[in-house]
Structure formats: structure tokens, C-alpha cells
Copies of this chain bind each other. A is one copy, B any other.
């Protein structure tokens, strides 16, 4: 394997605000197995199976793109009550692969269901009946190449052979590495919380490493909990918490052909039943889910292609959240702002430019801009005590915070992005093969 696992486990995140790697361990009802199907021709791990032996409740959010990969079509066409396996491959996006891509998934799902049924017969006291539609897929990689059906198909028995009932931090790390494409670091996060009096776990892994919009590279996010929650509640919780986490690093509707966020509940913890996401007993879980998603979203940003600095853009006191979001993304997506940050230049003129072009009206006589706590503009004027040297010094840090107050209302939005560097160009102008 090209990637040194030990280095990853011991490496410290550059971003001081980010919690370092969190150790994920056993989660009842879930098994993970990882193999190399040699899709990259260098024997790196590239094929991962998540197996829910009791079946998992679940909910997914998919790309808004008008062109979607064959695996997204497959997943949308199934819709079983429970999922028994999620199979994720990297290297090939299964997009523009047409019938070959879709039929490949069907054959792989058939084989998986058949072999998992055999496994259920051997292992379980009351074996479940697993059918083809209980299997869903995550695919990421190059678009338009023939889907490597044979390599994946013949590795299904290996994946199933490797299933162990107890998981540890190594298998989690292995799976987080095996779903990567151009990512340089695996992304894992976890929280423990309570539903009513019962302790539950929320574990998550993700991949994605684009630049201006992380969504231009495929984002995959998989969340696992041992709680008992219905498909309906999972869907509402996921939708609610994606908006200020993954949608704060990617503009609505601007997604790759393969983006996929799915939450699975193994129902192993016998917590009291949740009927609505407004119930008090789910608040703690709700908050923890947000933490896990935000943690993963930030890890994707800070691993952005060529990123050298993590940028947080807080836009506050807007008429509505849509305005705040428009302004935040106008700044976050401006290559001129991003290159200024990479050059450690407190070029606030470019931020003014990005605010102006965003669209929403601005209260120019009140507009305030700060880098961290350093006031640049106050009441629409350059702050009297503005000290360029002090600000330039602030820009040398790895964590840059841009704080904007618009003064047209009370709504806020925070976007996360990274700087734009030479390294980004190198990564993306490299010929594919």
C-alpha cells in the first residue's frame, strides 16, 4: 500500500482548531472489510464493504447534479426498508458507463446478497433474507472509463471472508484510507451521546478533496450509529444537519456526479422510540450528529487540494440566511481572496470586491470587516487604528478567520474554505494516466 498507515495515525493535524484523529472502535451491528481489487494497479486498498448483519435503517442525500453516476441511479432505484451492505470502490466513478456500469452493479449486488445469505445461514440464529435491493454502492474516481466489473466482482468473496464481528480503530482507518482518491489524509470522526438514558455512538468517515467547491471532487460521507432510529427520523436529522456542515463547504446544487451522504442505524441500542426530531430526548444526538458532520466537513476543507491555510468566513447580521450564505460563498469562492490568503496578504480590498459582487444589499455605512479580532473596516470606514503589519502577521497563521457584519438584519452563515496555491494547479493539471 502506498500510504503509510502508521504515519497517518501519529500525524498531527496542521489545523490547531481541529481535533486530532479520533479512534473509532466497535459499533454493534456493523462489520467492515477492506481489500485491494488492484483498481489503481498498485495494490492499494480500494474496495470496502460495510455489512449490517441485522440490516440497518438508513437515509441518503445524493448529488443535485443533472448527470449522476450509475451507482446513484442504482441506489435511488432500490429503496428497501433496510440496507444490509454498502460497497464502496474508488478509482472509477461509474459515471457515463451506461448499461455496462449499471448492470455490473446488479451482478455484484446479486453475488453479494447470495453470499451474505450463506453467511447469515452459518452465523445467525435467525438468519435474515437479504436480497439484491438491500445492497447499495458508493463509487468515486475517474468519469467515463469502463467500470472495472470483473476486478470488483471477483473480490466480493474476499470481502465477505474478511468480515469480523469486532471492529477496532485499525479497520476504521483502513476503510477511511480505502475510499480516498486525491485526499492526502483519511477523515474520521466520532461522538458518544445519549438518547434518553441510553448511550449511543455516532461514527463517521468521509472523503473528498476538491478546491473551490469540494463537491467538484466527489464527497462521500458515511455516518453509522448503533441507535434505534427510523428511516424517517434519520432522513430529517441528516437533512437538517447537512445544511451548516457539508453545505457550508459546498454551494447548494453545485455537486459532483457522485456525491453521497448516508446515515445508517443498526438499531442495536434499545433506546426509547423517537417520533419527531423536535423531541427533547433526541436533542443530544442531534447536536452530536452536527459535530461529527462538521468535523468531517472541516477535515475535507483542510485537506483541500494544495491547501496551506484553513479559512473560516463568518457573515453575520444579514436580512436572511440566504443573503449571508451568498456573501460567505462569494468570498469563499473568490480565487483572488484565496490567492491573497495563500500569499499571506491582508488584501481586504478583495474581500470588499467579493461582498459587493455577491448580490445582496449591504449597509455600507455600518459594514464591518475583521481578520480574527483585528478590525479592518468599522462603520464602513478603514479603522483608525488599522495596523497593516499586525494584520500581515495574523495572515501568517494556519487558521484565518474573516468576520463580516452586514447590518441589514439578524441572520448568520459560516462558510469554510482553504487557500489557493500552486500545489492545487500541480495536482489538477497532472495528466490522468
Chain A residues within CB distance 8 Å of chain B: 64-68, 93, 95-96, 98, 142-144, 210-212, 215-216, 253-257, 334-336, 339-340, 342-345, 347-350, 352-353, 355-362, 364, 377, 381-382, 392, 420-422, 424-426, 428-432
CB proximity of A370 to chain B, nearest CB, Å: 15
Contacts of A353 in B (CB 8 A): 65, 67, 143, 216, 256-257
Contacts of A253 in B (CB 8 A): 357, 359
Known: A96-B349, A144-B349, A425-B342. A66 touches B361 (CB 8 A): yes
Contacts of A360 in B (CB 8 A): 66
Query: How many Å lie between the Cα of A401 and that of B86 in the bound state?
Result: 41
Contact B339 A428 (CB under 8 A): yes
Contacts of A65 in B (CB 8 A): 353, 356-357
Contact A257 B356 (CB under 8 A): yes
Query: How many Å lie between the Cα of A348 and that of B142 in the bound state?
Result: 10
Please state the number of chain copies in the assembly: 2
Contact with A352, one of B67, B355, B356, B364 (Cβ below 8 angstroms) = B67
Contacts of A339 in B (CB 8 A): 424-425, 428-429
Contact A95 B257 (CB under 8 A): no
Contacts of A355 in B (CB 8 A): 66-67
Report the nearest B residue to A349, measured CB to CB.
B143
Query: How many Å lie between the Cα of A174 and that of B356 in the bound state?
Result: 32
23 contacts between A and B (CB under 8 A): A65-B353, A65-B356, A66-B358, A66-B360, A66-B362, A67-B353, A67-B355, A67-B362, A96-B349, A96-B352, A98-B381, A144-B348, A212-B335, A255-B357, A256-B357, A257-B353, A335-B335, A339-B424, A340-B429, A342-B425, A345-B432, A392-B431, A425-B425
Contacts of A431 in B (CB 8 A): 343-345, 392
Query: How many Å lie between the Cα of A344 and that of B431 in the bound state?
Result: 7
Report the nearest B residue to A141, measured CB to CB.
B349
CB proximity of A149 to chain B, nearest CB, Å: 16
Contact B422 A425 (CB under 8 A): yes
Contacts of A428 in B (CB 8 A): 335-336, 339-340, 343
Contact A93 B349 (CB under 8 A): yes
Contacts of A340 in B (CB 8 A): 428-429
Query: How many Å lie between the Cα of A356 and that of B72 in the bound state?
Result: 14
Query: How many Å lie between the Cα of A96 and that of B368 in the bound state?
Result: 13
Query: How many Å lie between the Cα of A393 and that of B336 in the bound state?
Result: 32
Contact A382 B96 (CB under 8 A): yes
Query: How many Å lie between the Cα of A6 and that of B199 in the bound state?
Result: 78
Query: How many Å lie between the Cα of A173 and that of B339 in the bound state?
Result: 31
Contacts of A343 in B (CB 8 A): 428-431
Contacts of A345 in B (CB 8 A): 429-432
Contact B382 A144 (CB under 8 A): yes
CB proximity of A353 to chain B, nearest CB, Å: 6
Contacts of A426 in B (CB 8 A): 422
Given contacts A96-B349, A96-B377, 17 further A-B contacts (CB under 8 A): A67-B353, A67-B356, A95-B352, A96-B382, A143-B353, A216-B336, A253-B359, A254-B357, A257-B353, A339-B424, A340-B428, A342-B425, A343-B428, A343-B429, A420-B425, A422-B426, A425-B425
